[in-house]
Amino acid sequence: MKLLLTAFGPFGGRNLNASSLALAGLRKALPGIHTRVMPVDAVIAPSRLKQAIRKIRPNALIMLGEASGSREIRLETTAWNQIDFRVPDIAGRLHCSRPIRRNAPASLSSTLPLKEIHERLLALGYPVAFSQDPGRYLCNLLFFRALDDLAQNGIAIPAGFIHLPLESDLPTNRAVAAISEVMYILHPIA
């Protein structure tokens, strides 16, 4: 199974992003996985993800981001066809309340097995919750664009977005262990 995991680089004046820290840990633990760190850029990130999907042809896609203020791993259920940036992306773009793609559905649902992921992480003692609000920033933009592009191209793979708490609230080694469990659900070793 080819699994593609993405994360975001730093933004907003911060030097670290919990998602890219977790991705680096996952690469060390599982060197055969396909990973990409996306810039917090509204133009480049979706383009790079689309290129990665075409090149790798993954059997599953897990997108990671960080959620400041959350103490739980948030399993995002819904991607919304709306962007509304409260802060500019790293290129200085500020998008105000508009659809991501005109004539597209108002929302798209994650195709990851979220109930199973939730049950497993909860049973292992991880702080985890379902979330219907991935924000309207880059996380939601990438989530919606990925699901929309996959559907438009007839690619039916498990794909979804998971928000991690800041590293100060969920240490990287715990985040790596939790995402490893998610990966196991998608591709159990016999």
> Of the residues 96, 163, 167, 187, which is catalytic?
163
- At residue 14's C-alpha, the angle toward residues 146 and 176, to 5°, is 55
Q: Where do the H-state alpha helices sit in 5-163?
A: 18-29, 44-56, 114-123, 138-152
Distance separating alpha carbons of residues 60 and 1, to the nearest angstrom: 8
- Which residues lie closer than 8 Å to 24 by C-beta, 6 or more apart? none
User: Which amino acid does the sequence have at 167?
Assistant: E
Amino acid, single-letter form, for residue 154 = G
For 57, 89, 165, 174, the CA distances from 157, given in Å and listed in that order, are 10, 29, 26, 26
Q: Tokens in use for 111?
A: 């195709």
The residue from 118, 119, 139, 187 that is catalytic is 139
Q: Is 96 among the residues known to form the active site?
A: no
Is-catalytic flag, 76? yes
Select which of 34, 66, 72, 76 is catalytic.
Answer: 76
163 in active site = yes
- Residues annotated as catalytic are 76, 139, 163
